[in-house]
Chain A
Amino acid sequence: MSVIAVLICISLAVALIFLAAFLWSVKNGQYSDTYTPSVRMLFDDEIKKEENINKEK
C-alpha cells in the first residue's frame, strides 16, 4: 500500500507538467485567437492539391 505514496507523487508530477504546458500555451498567445487556426488548417489541402495538379501537368 505504501506504493500509493509514490504513485501520488508521480501523478502530481505528470499533472504539473500538463499545467506548465497549459500556462505556456496561454503565454504563447494560443488563446488569443481560437477561430482562425481552424480555417488555416484547411488551406494546406489546397496547396497539396495545387502541387499534385502541377505534377500531373
Chain B
Amino acid sequence: MFIDNQMEVDCYHCGQACSNDVIKLENKNFCCLGCKTVYEILNQNQLCTYYSIESNPGIKPQEINKNKFNYLDDPKIIKELLSSEIDNIAMVNFYIPIIHCSSCIWLLENLFKVNAAILSSKVDFLKKEVTVQFKSDTITLKEVVTILSSLGYEPSINLSSVDKKNIVTNKETYYKLGIAGFCFGNIMLFSFPEYLSIDNQFYKNLFAYLNLLLSIPVLLYSARGYLTSAYKGLKYRFFNIDLPLSIGILALFFRSAYEVISGAGAGFFDSFSGLIFFLLIGKAFQERTYKMLNFDRDYRSYFPLSVVVVKNNKETSIPVSNIRIGDRLLIHNSELIPVDSILINGNGVIDYSFVTGESKLNKLASGSLIYAGGKHFGSIIEVEAIKEVSQSYLTQLWNNDNFNKKKEDKLISFTNFVSKYFTLAILIIGFLAFFLTLSNGLGYSVNVLTAVLIVACPCALALSIPFTFGNILRIMSNNKFYLKNITIIQELAKINHIIFDKTGTITSNNKSVIQYFGDKLNQYENKLVFSTASASTHPLSKLIVSNMSQTEYINPKNYMEYEGQGVISEIEDNYIKLGSSKFVSGIHNNDSGSKVFLSINDCSKGYFLIKPEYRTGLNMFICELKKDYSLSLLSGDNNSEKNFLSKIFPNESNLLFNQSPFDKLNYIQKLKAKGQKILMVGDGLNDAGALNNSDVGIAVSDDVHSFSPACDAIIDSNVLYRLSDFLKFSKTGLNIIYLSFFISFLYNIVGLFFAVQGLLVPLVAAILMPLSSISVIAFASLSVKYAAKRYNLE
C-alpha cells in the first residue's frame, strides 16, 4: 500500500511542509513539537511581531541534548567567552550562523522580553553576531545560551572563539580617511585663488601657508602607512607598489613646501592631499569588502568545546582543552572524538572522512586506537585519552604544510614587477629630463625632475585592484559563491581543466534522495527504525538515518548485522529488520535500484527507495563547461553509474571510479606535471587533500556555514550550475585590471608630456591626477557591474 499525497500544510513557524504529524495550536499548524514550543515561548512573551516581519521566519529547532551546554558552568570558560563583566553586568558576543532575515534581528534584539535579566542585545547582521548584555548575578551564561537555542538560534561556540584572536576593527583607516578628506576639501577651497590667478600678495601667502599647514597631518598621519611600507620594502630590497607611490608623495610634499617657503609659487598641496585621499578610499573599500567575507576557519572551529568525562562513576562536562592523558571520555552518537584515544567500552563505529577523506565506517573493537577527528556513530562508547588535544594526530595533520599551502599571489607579484620597472623608468625619465634641461638653469631642471616624479602615478595599480576585485568578490558572494581571497580570482581565470567528485558534488545530499513507500510509521516505530539504522555501519543505513527527522535513540538490546544482507535489532521486545527484500521478507526482488526493506516484528512495513539524485541541470552544466575546459570525474564509489555519466561527460574526459584519496592526489599531480591548471570541485570533507593540491579547490556545500577546511572557495549547491558564468566573470575581471593599467598608463604619458616640458603648473596637476584616479575607479567599478550584468550575476 502506498501512502502519499498528504494534504500539503505548511508549518506556521518554519514554513516547511508538515508531512507526518501536524500539530495544531490556536488554528495554526506546526510541523513538529519544537516549532510549536518556540511559538508558545514567543506568544507568552508578546513577541508575535516576529511572524509579521517576514513570512515563516522560524527555524526548526534541533533536539537539544540537555547536557550540551554544561561546559558553560566552568568559570574559566565563562571568563574567556565574556567580553566584559563589570558590576555584575556581563557582555558576551555570540556568532549565530542561522541569522538570515529581519525577523531574526527583531527577535534577537527583543530578547529582554523573554527574560528580564537580559538587559539588551544588539545584532550585527552581516557578521551574524549578537552582543548580549545581561545581569550575571541573576542569570548565568549557560541560561542565556539555552534561551537562544530554545528559540532556534543556537550560537556557535567553539575553541577558536574561545582562543579569541583579537579582531581589531580597523578604525585607523577611517581616521586617516577623515583627516585626509578634511584637509583635501579645505586645501582645494584655498587653492582657488591660485587657479583663478588672483594677485593679492597677502592672501596668496595666507592660503599658501594654510595649505602647507593642512598638508602636514596628511603627510605625517594619513600617508604614514604608504611611507613605512615603502621604507621596509627598500630595506629588504623588495619592490612593492608603495615605493613609486611614496616617491610621488614625498616629491609632491617637499617641492610644494619649498615653493611656498621660498615664495616661488603655491605648490601642489591640492594634488598631494587629493592623491592620499583617493588612495585611502581604495583602501577603506578594500578592507570593508574583504572583512565581510571572513572565511578562514581552522580545525578548531570544527571541534566541540566540551566532552563528558567519567571520574569515579560521575559524569562531568569539561572543556576539551582540559583533557588529560588517562581521562575516560564518553562519546555519544554523531559526536566528534576530540583526542587520540583507546576504545574501552562499547561498539565503536568511526567515520574518518574528516581526517583521511574516506567515508567508510570503521567498526572497532575494544582496545583499538581511535584518532582525533573521527566521528562516532551508534551507542555510547567510553574511551581513554592517550594524548591531549594539541598533540593529537589531527592537529599535526592540520599544521602540516600540505594544508597550509600559501599560494603565491600572482597578481600581487605582477604589481610588484610593474612597480619595479615603473620606478626605474620614471627615475630614468626624470633624470634624463633633468640633465637635458640643465641648460635652462638648475631651478628649472629641478622643477622638471620633481614634476616628472609627481605626475607619474601608478594609481591604477593601487586603485583598480581593490575596486575591481573587491566588487567581484562581493558580487560572487551575493550569488552564493564565496572566495577565500582575491588571489583565487586570478587563479580561476587561468583554469583549463576541471575535475569533479561524484558523491555530494554532482549528486545532491538532499532528503529527497530517500523515499519511503509503505505503511505509515508512528512515532515509536520511527524511533525503532532510527535506532536500528543508527547502529548499522552500512552506508545505506547512514543515509536512512540522515534523512529521518531527529528522534530519540534507544539502545538496542540485541543487534546483528549480516554483511550484504541487512540488520536485525531487538529494541524493547520489538524485532526490527532492515535490509534486502530477501533478507527481510524472503521475497526475491529483482529491482536493482537500492531498496532497503523494513519489517517490524515480522510484519512487512514497506521499503526505502534510495536513488542517486543528480543535481538539476547537470547535463546543461557539463555541456557549457566542456566547450572551454577539459573535464574529469574522480569518484570513490563503484562504477555503477559509469554508463549514465559517460553520456553526459564528453568522450575525451576521464571517468575514474574507486579512487582512494591517494589516487585522486596522484591524478592531480600527473595533470599538473603536464602543465594543466586544475580546478577541483568536491564536497570539502572527503577530498581534502585533492582540493588542496589543485590550483583552485571549490567545496560544494548545501549549508555554507559548515566547515570546509581545504578549499579556496565555497559554492552553494544551488548555484553550482552557474560555475561557467563564475569562471568567465573572473577572466573578465582580470581583463578589466589590465585595461585599467592601460588607462592609467595613458594618463601618465599625458602627464609626462606636460612635465618634461616644464609645463606642469598646479592647476594642470590638480586636474590630471584626481581625474586619473577617479576614472580608474569609475572604469573598474562600472566595467565589473557591466560584466556582472552580462553574465546575469548582479
Spell out A's residues near B (CB within 8 Å): 1, 4-5, 8, 11-12, 15-16, 18-19, 22-23, 26-27, 29, 31-33, 35-36, 39-40, 42-43, 46-47, 50
Query: Nearest-CB distance from B200 to chain A (Å)?
Result: 7
CB interface residues, B 696-721, toward A, < 8 Å? none
A36 touches B174 (CB 8 A): no
B182 CB within 8 Å of chain A: yes
A36: chain B residues within 8 A (beta carbon): 105, 122-126
Nearest A-chain residue to B210, judged by Cβ: A8
For A1, A11, A33, the residue with the greatest tally of chain B CB atoms inside 10 Å of its CB is A33
A39 to B175, CA, bound (A): 26
Say yes or no: A39-B125 contact (C-beta < 8 A), given A15-B186, A46-B52.
yes
B49 CB within 8 Å of chain A: yes
B174: chain A residues within 8 A (beta carbon): 26, 31
Say yes or no: A19-B178 contact (C-beta < 8 A), given A12-B186, A46-B52, A46-B106.
yes
Say yes or no: A39-B179 contact (C-beta < 8 A), given A31-B171, A31-B174.
no
Query: Nearest-CB distance from A1 to chain B (Å)?
Result: 7
Candidates A4, A32, A39; contact of B102 at CB < 8 Å: A39
A46: chain B residues within 8 A (beta carbon): 49, 52-53, 106
Nearest B-chain residue to A32, judged by Cβ: B169
B122: chain A residues within 8 A (beta carbon): 36
A5 to B202, CA, bound (A): 10
B203 CB within 8 Å of chain A: yes
Candidates B49, B178, B206; contact of A8 at CB < 8 Å: B206
A42: chain B residues within 8 A (beta carbon): 102
CB interface residues, B 200-222, toward A, < 8 Å? 200, 203, 206, 210
A44 to B125, CA, bound (A): 18
A22 to B124, CA, bound (A): 21
A12: chain B residues within 8 A (beta carbon): 186, 210
A50 touches B49 (CB 8 A): yes
A19 to B185, CA, bound (A): 11
A10 to B179, CA, bound (A): 18
A13 to B178, CA, bound (A): 16
B613: chain A residues within 8 A (beta carbon): none
A26 touches B175 (CB 8 A): yes
B109 CB within 8 Å of chain A: yes
A5: chain B residues within 8 A (beta carbon): 203, 206
A53 to B218, CA, bound (A): 56
A8: chain B residues within 8 A (beta carbon): 190, 206, 210
11 sample A-B contacts, Cβ–Cβ < 8 Å, listed by A number: A4-B203, A11-B186, A15-B186, A22-B182, A27-B171, A32-B171, A33-B125, A36-B105, A36-B124, A36-B126, A39-B125
A19: chain B residues within 8 A (beta carbon): 178-179, 182
Nearest B-chain residue to A16, judged by Cβ: B182
B190: chain A residues within 8 A (beta carbon): 8
Given contacts A11-B186, A29-B169, 10 further A-B contacts (CB under 8 A): A12-B186, A15-B182, A15-B185, A18-B182, A19-B178, A26-B178, A32-B171, A36-B122, A47-B49, A50-B49
A6 to B496, CA, bound (A): 67
A16: chain B residues within 8 A (beta carbon): 182
A18: chain B residues within 8 A (beta carbon): 182
Return the CB mask of B129-148 against A: 1 if under 8 Å, else 0.
Answer: 00000000000000000000
B127 CB within 8 Å of chain A: yes
Query: Nearest-CB distance from B211 to chain A (Å)?
Result: 12
Query: Nearest-CB distance from B355 to chain A (Å)?
Result: 38
Query: Nearest-CB distance from B432 to chain A (Å)?
Result: 42
B178: chain A residues within 8 A (beta carbon): 19, 22-23, 26
A41 to B108, CA, bound (A): 15
Return the CB mask of B567-580 against A: 1 if under 8 Å, else 0.
Answer: 00000000000000
A35 touches B106 (CB 8 A): no
A29: chain B residues within 8 A (beta carbon): 169
A29 to B126, CA, bound (A): 15
Query: Nearest-CB distance from A4 to chain B (Å)?
Result: 7
B127: chain A residues within 8 A (beta carbon): 33
Nearest A-chain residue to B50, judged by Cβ: A46
Please name the 5 residue pairs, one residue from A and one from B, whose CB atoms are nearest each other, closest first.
A19-B182, A26-B174, A36-B125, A33-B124, A22-B178
A8 to B211, CA, bound (A): 12
Query: Nearest-CB distance from A55 to chain B (Å)?
Result: 15
B123: chain A residues within 8 A (beta carbon): 36
A29 to B52, CA, bound (A): 30
Nearest A-chain residue to B292, judged by Cβ: A35
A29 to B174, CA, bound (A): 11
Query: Nearest-CB distance from A17 to chain B (Å)?
Result: 11
Nearest A-chain residue to B101, judged by Cβ: A39
A15: chain B residues within 8 A (beta carbon): 182, 185-186
Say yes or no: A35-B125 contact (C-beta < 8 A), given A26-B175, A46-B52.
yes
Nearest A-chain residue to B171, judged by Cβ: A26
Query: Nearest-CB distance from A48 to chain B (Å)?
Result: 11
